[in-house]
Amino acid sequence: MDNCSLPEVTILPSATKVKEGGSLMFECHVSGTPPPVASWRTERLHSRHVFERRVMVSTLVLVLQLLEVSSKDNLHNLTCEAENQAGPGEDMVQLDIEFPVRILFLRKAERQHHWCFPFAVDGNPEPTIQWLYNGKELTENRYTYTQLFPDTDDGSVKHGCLFLNKPTHLNNGVYTMVVRNVLGHDQANATGLFMNSPADNFDDGAIPVPTNTSNKHVTESKESRLFVISVAVGLAVFACAFLLVMLVVINRCGQHSKFGIHRSSVLGTEDDLALSLRFMNFGTNPPCTEDDSGLSSFVENPQYFCGIIKDKDMCVQNIKRQDIVLKWELGEGAFGKVYLAECANLSPDSDKMLVAIKTLKDANESTRQDFQREAELLTVLQHQHIVRFYGVCTDGEPLAMVFEYMRHGDLNRFLRAHGPDARILEEVKMPPLGQLTVPQMLHIAGQIASGMVYLASLHFVHRDLATRNCLVGEGLVVKIGDFGMSRDIYSTDYYRVGGRTMLPIRWMPPESIMYRKFTTESDIWSFGVVLWEIFTYGKQPWYQLSNSEAIECITQGRELERPRTCPKEVHLLMQGCWQREPQQRLVIKDIHSRLLALVKNPPLYLDILG
């Protein structure tokens, strides 16, 4: 095209400071050949606004008037877009709306690494924050300090915590947050109940406000001190006994394999979860009922998937039992043992191959049919980052599935064995690889993302993505090795809340916890948790919380903390996966390409603490 030029877009004026409730006027000047079409992007604007359109000589002028400017638009990037056959053009100005500071919330202290009073404040110009403890000024120090969380992606709202490091009953009381900016001030109270003191006889929630806390403790009698000490010793003995019991339980869980972990350490006992759900008001009816097909309503793999299988006319390979020689046990899932085996006649290139054999114990006619159906599904899933399925062995008992052998086992164990606590965890059997580096972690994450891109392209919802369900092979090759659908095939009881409940709640987004909604977007949330697992060397998400506390945190919108070894770019990815609105979460293709870019160009990361 002759005389063709890209649109030129300029917003006037570029200064945008105004007080809340005031008005602003902007002109967007657009020129270009051929004449571009142009518009303001106002769909996310809260302030009332009107448009006007003027055409000057060769320039189109779009006027946008903001009336009664809302503080919600502070820091909003006002954008004017234009396009012609030559391409697009745009200009942007950031709104700077001044308004009195206000406290959006201040909640009672909750336990994280340290105790935290979570708060959110909003105000422009930036407010100052001050704290009072029982009405008196609280001096911040290394044990009591305010911390704001960067990049919360919430406009000008600042989220943060007043942290208290190891507070005792001496710190119980009323904490007042006072915020000020030049346009106003606000304050709010929250209670901190960290430990019950025998001297303070109060119930949860009814915290007395001592008029002179320090004096009170100075004048404690010898008897009361003695009493405090004996209670403390009693508590310590109880804590030790409790720890011992926990160690025994954890030890037992450790002997189970992946499915075992689902049953116990990840999900806790059935009662624990049922309790949690009741606590969250989900549990009056059994949250998971059976539908007509007899499957739990958690069991919802799309019909569409079956269509694909039929279209492809898949054939599941039948492997003769006599071709399989078991070597030793690799682990045990909820539905049977997993063995390392040598298998003959699998491939024309080699006469014997190492394989992993998953057996199915106690098979009846219906589980046999389910087994066959899963085998058909697994036959369809073929990708370099999905563990390879070779076929089934159905002549005789037990029924078995034959998979490619992944030498380093499941990714969670692998991460722990290559993290700072490898010695404590005594994963001595692992080959020495040293501690994983950030580029290696990115490489692992990129491979899982690649497998997920493939599953999403088939509209397959995994529902249980976690590092324990990924496998590690030679040369740091990582593959997704276990599928959500295994649960429905092997046991429809698996997701029953009324019966045996084993939901991977720590990996689940709020909508899956509250409404049992599992989608490609809920898989994205889990992928964010997988990233977190990788960058914490296999820590359990919300390890410091019980199941019910984890449910409460997730549904309240709390996020897992940024791991120490995690570059900012990766933390942004995690946060993109943990958007509360499923539609606002990143899509797996973008996550994958961003990870690939980071693998090629690893971010410079200095662990200043370590």
CA 75 to chain centre: 27
332 is in an annotated binding site: yes
For residues 338 and 598, which CB has a smaller minimum distance to ligand AMP in the complex?
338
Q: Per CB under 6 A, which region of 237-245, 253-261, 441-449, 586-594 contacts ligand AMP? A: 253-261
Which residues inside 384-403 make contact with ligand AMP, applying CB under 6 A?
Answer: 387, 403
Q: Which of 405, 507, 537, 578 binds ligand AMP (CB under 6 A)?
A: 405
For residues 333 and 451, which CB has a smaller minimum distance to ligand AMP in the complex?
333
- Among residues 110, 96, 232, which one has the least CA distance to residue 161? 110
Whole-angstrom Cα distance, residue 157 to residue 557? 15
CB of 367 to ligand AMP, least distance (A): 15
How distant, in Å, are the alpha carbons of 272, 300, 369, 452, 515 from that of 278? 10, 24, 35, 33, 14
For residues 201 and 255, which CB has a smaller minimum distance to ligand AMP in the complex?
255
Q: Phi first, then psi: give them for residue 56, nearest 5 degrees.
A: -100, -170
- Kind and range of the H or E run holding 240: helix 222-255
Structure tokens at 563: 């791991």
Farthest CA pair distance, the chain: 97
Whole-angstrom Cα distance, residue 440 to residue 102? 44
Number of residues that bind ligand AMP (CB under 6 A): 19
- Strand, helix or coil at 301? coil
Q: Which of 29, 49, 159, 258 binds ligand AMP (CB under 6 A)?
A: 258
CB of 385 to ligand AMP, least distance (A): 13
- Strand, helix or coil at 388? coil
Q: Could you give the string, one character per residue 347-376, with x where binding to ligand AMP holds by CB under 6 A and - elsewhere?
A: ---------x-x------------------
For residues 287 and 409, which CB has a smaller minimum distance to ligand AMP in the complex?
409
For residues 69 and 472, which CB has a smaller minimum distance to ligand AMP in the complex?
472
CB of 354 to ligand AMP, least distance (A): 9
- Strand, helix or coil at 393? strand
Q: Per CB under 6 A, which region of 168-176, 365-373, 405-413, 432-440 contacts ligand AMP? A: 405-413
Q: Which amino acid is at 549?
A: E
Q: Which of 38, 101, 471, 489 binds ligand AMP (CB under 6 A)?
A: 471
337 is in an annotated binding site: yes
279 is in an annotated binding site: no
Which residues inside 72-111 make contact with ligand AMP, applying CB under 6 A?
Answer: none
Contact 343, 323 (CB under 8 A): yes
Whole-angstrom Cα distance, residue 597 to residue 591? 10
CB of 405 to ligand AMP, least distance (A): 5
Peptide bond just before 125 cis, omega within 30 deg: yes
Q: Could you give the string, one character per residue 12-51, with x where binding to ligand AMP holds by CB under 6 A and - elsewhere?
A: ----------------------------------------
CB of 231 to ligand AMP, least distance (A): 44
Q: Is 410 in the site for ligand AMP (CB under 6 A)?
A: yes
For residues 339 and 578, which CB has a smaller minimum distance to ligand AMP in the complex?
339
Close Cβ partners of 381 (under 8 Å, ≥ 6 residues apart):
389, 454, 455, 458, 460, 483
CB of 388 to ligand AMP, least distance (A): 9
User: What number of other Cβ atoms are within 10 A of residue 328's Cβ?
Assistant: 7
- Among residues 390, 387, 256, which one has the least CA distance to residue 324? 390
**Catalytic residue, candidates 91, 464, 488, 523:** 464
109 is in an annotated binding site: no
Rounded (5°) CA angle 400-403-408: 125
Whole-angstrom Cα distance, residue 304 to residue 457? 12
CB of 403 to ligand AMP, least distance (A): 4
CB of 126 to ligand AMP, least distance (A): 50
Whole-angstrom Cα distance, residue 285 to residue 277? 10
CB of 410 to ligand AMP, least distance (A): 4
User: What number of other Cβ atoms are within 10 A of residue 386's Cβ?
Assistant: 18
Cα dihedral 457, 459, 465, 468 sign: negative
For residue 395, indicate whether it is catalytic: no
Q: Could you give the string, one character per residue 295-334, with x where binding to ligand AMP holds by CB under 6 A and - elsewhere?
A: -----------------------------------xx-x-
Whole-angstrom Cα distance, residue 121 to residue 102? 6
Provide the terminal-to-terminal Cα distance of the chain, rounded to the nearest Å: 60
- Among residues 63, 23, 21, 13, which one has the least CA distance to residue 42? 63
How distant, in Å, are the alpha carbons of 155, 240, 412, 516 from that of 423? 44, 23, 15, 39
Whole-angstrom Cα distance, residue 195 to residue 172? 7
Rounded (5°) CA angle 314-318-319: 140
Structure tokens at 196: 């019950």
- Among residues 143, 137, 139, which one has the least CA distance to residue 168? 143
Q: Per CB under 6 A, which region of 26-34, 74-82, 255-263, 590-598 contacts ligand AMP? A: 255-263
For residues 26 and 405, which CB has a smaller minimum distance to ligand AMP in the complex?
405
CB of 492 to ligand AMP, least distance (A): 17
Q: Is 346 in the site for ligand AMP (CB under 6 A)?
A: no
Contact 164, 145 (CB under 8 A): no
For residues 338 and 378, which CB has a smaller minimum distance to ligand AMP in the complex?
338
For residues 158 and 258, which CB has a smaller minimum distance to ligand AMP in the complex?
258
User: What number of other Cβ atoms are within 10 A of residue 205's Cβ?
Assistant: 8
Alpha-helix residue ranges (DSSP H) falling in 128-221: 213-218
For residues 413 and 594, which CB has a smaller minimum distance to ligand AMP in the complex?
413
123 is in an annotated binding site: no
Q: Which of 9, 338, 386, 401 binds ligand AMP (CB under 6 A)?
A: 338
* Residue of this chain nearest to ligand AMP (CB atom): 333
Q: Is 257 in the site for ligand AMP (CB under 6 A)?
A: yes
460 is in an annotated binding site: no
Q: Which residues make up the interface to ligand AMP (CB under 6 A)?
A: 257-259, 330-331, 333, 338, 356, 358, 387, 403-406, 409-410, 471, 481-482
Residues making up the binding site: 330-338, 358
Residues making up the binding site for ATP: 330-338, 358
Tell me the catalytic residues. 464
